[in-house]
Structure 1
């Protein structure tokens, strides 16, 4: 009888795989420990044990974040499948149907219209996915994504500031009231989003570069609030071109204000994302591509 070669079979513990997957999704051991209701040292020990079993380093432990190695990406793919199969087996034996939670973050000006129609369509097609949508300022959404609190986000960011699944330029316009212009006032009244907003920083920098005095006359985290305040003559603002209304007038180059071309829309998704996350991401990419094609 011909002898078959002896294979080194390793049985990978699902608990260890779950620890690796959570660290990769959250980008840090601290956030992973919080999500798994464990301690950072315990999660670290589980990942190291998994690396010992695999015989490979699976994570690059940087100063600010943790990223999977090439081998780690391979293991993450299998880990997600194994954990999903384990969940399916449990459901099959119990007869229960456990919903998957998908946490999406979008800017406030994308929280309606075509986006909500798309989300409703996704929910109809994937009834077992529990969709949780949050809207807010892009920096807050990006920070939530980095902490592992969101699975998929559409954000506005500086061009090329970070890796993204897809990105599109976001043309910007300086706007004033068509009925009660405010740009000639001294100091220039500015209608702005709260501190740390991208548009706010660009607006202030540009006004100061002109040597003009300025003041914040109106602050709102709502796009509708910004649009209304400008329309009623409370000040000028900087907004995406797609949000300019008939109640506004665009301030062109003759005003001395610079063209702002540093902003882009970006979709952020982890390489290890669930299939349902990838499906929704693809739908968003298609929608945004069509609207900007």
Structure 2
């Protein structure tokens, strides 16, 4: 098996490109005798004459011409392999977990701006249920999580109120039949359990008329008159719904950001995310977010 030393290939390519041993030696910062020796060693390895030394400028032989393209490819692949381990871009990951309805255009801009400033960072984002995200964060699977919960834990990075309310379709009847039809998230969603607890506490009869796995689907179904639902107030403004006044108000939940690191890039990103969440909920009319496609929280 012929082993092609990349130093010898580099000397060969330089001679072929320049047509001169002297110029090639200067390009590679070596003496003319050294580059001649390296070409000789390569010719000995392949048992072929690769450069016609009688021509001026010197030229590749037929065998040399055939080898030249392969030599260039080998050297190019070597350079790519070296860059793989020397280029830091995307070499460190920050793992983020959050509900789907938090992945808004405004939040995505935060991610994009952060990634542009820290090119060595790769953002790995996972969407899911708040309870599952909390469990996985406590288990070390995420560096940052955003979760919705009844009350924030003491180790939160930041938290803001997540106002929630009962909504019905804009054209729905003012008085609903008994039992009340509900549009709900699947089992495991915080809003679903809160809905049940409230109606059971008031001894109202209800049934699940429609189940959807995304906030968008829930609000579309409510707008179509399939039933009532409990959803974030900031998200409902994009849909054909109105407050279900007969149920009054509901206590706000908490939108919390947790991060393992208190300093460094993880903490920097957690702070940016916290600021964006607070701005959206304090100034909903100025939000640039489009209608949510979020999944259950």
TM-score, structure 2 as length reference: 0.62
Q: Which residue among 248, 263, 269 is the counterpart of 1:280?
A: 269
Does the 8 A contact of 1:183 with 1:189 survive in 2? no
**Larger-gyration structure (1/2):** 2
Counterpart position of 1:291 = 280
The Cα offsets for residues 177-207 of structure 1, whole Å up to 9 and x where unpaired, read as 1123486122211111111211111111111
> Structure 1 residues 220, 212: CA separation in 2 closer, same or farther (over 3 Å shift)?
same
The Cα offsets for residues 48-79 of structure 1, whole Å up to 9 and x where unpaired, read as xxxxxxxxxxxxxxxxxxxxxxxxxxxxxxxx
Rounded Cα–Cα distance in structure 2 between residues aligned with 1:95 and 1:106: 32
Rounded Cα–Cα distance in structure 1 between residues aligned with 2:134 and 2:175: 33
Q: What are structure 2's unaligned runs of at least 5 residues?
A: 1-81, 283-297
Give the alignment of 1:123-272 within 5 angstroms. 123-161=115-153, 163-181=155-173, 184-245=176-237, 246-252=239-245, 255=246, 257-270=247-260, 272=261
Rounded Cα–Cα distance in structure 2 between residues aligned with 1:179 and 1:231: 8
Counterpart position of 1:47 = none
Deviation of the 1:264 alpha carbon? 0.6
Counterpart secondary structure, 1:176: strand
Q: CA RMSD in A?
A: 2.2
Does the 8 A contact of 1:137 with 1:221 survive in 2? no
Rounded Cα–Cα distance in structure 2 between residues aligned with 1:276 and 1:181: 52
Counterpart secondary structure, 2:226: coil
Deviation of the 1:210 alpha carbon? 2.3
Deviation of the 1:261 alpha carbon? 1.5
Which runs of at least 4 in structure 1 moved beyond 4 Å after TM superposition? none
Rounded Cα–Cα distance in structure 1 between residues aligned with 2:125 and 2:173: 37
Counterpart secondary structure, 1:184: coil
Deviates more, 1:272-281 or 1:101-110: 272-281
Does the 8 A contact of 1:105 with 1:134 survive in 2? yes
Counterpart secondary structure, 2:113: helix
Does the 8 A contact of 2:185 with 2:212 survive in 1? yes
Q: What are structure 1's unaligned runs of at least 5 residues?
A: 1-90
Does the 8 A contact of 1:108 with 1:136 survive in 2? yes
The Cα offsets for residues 64-121 of structure 1, whole Å up to 9 and x where unpaired, read as xxxxxxxxxxxxxxxxxxxxxxxxxxx99x6353710111112111112211111111
Deviation of the 1:165 alpha carbon? 0.8
1:95 aligns with 2:86: yes
> Structure 1 residues 244, 181: CA separation in 2 closer, same or farther (over 3 Å shift)?
farther
Does the 8 A contact of 2:92 with 2:120 survive in 1? yes
Does the 8 A contact of 2:234 with 2:281 survive in 1? no
Rounded Cα–Cα distance in structure 1 between residues aligned with 2:173 and 2:108: 34
> Structure 1 residues 159, 289: CA separation in 2 closer, same or farther (over 3 Å shift)?
same
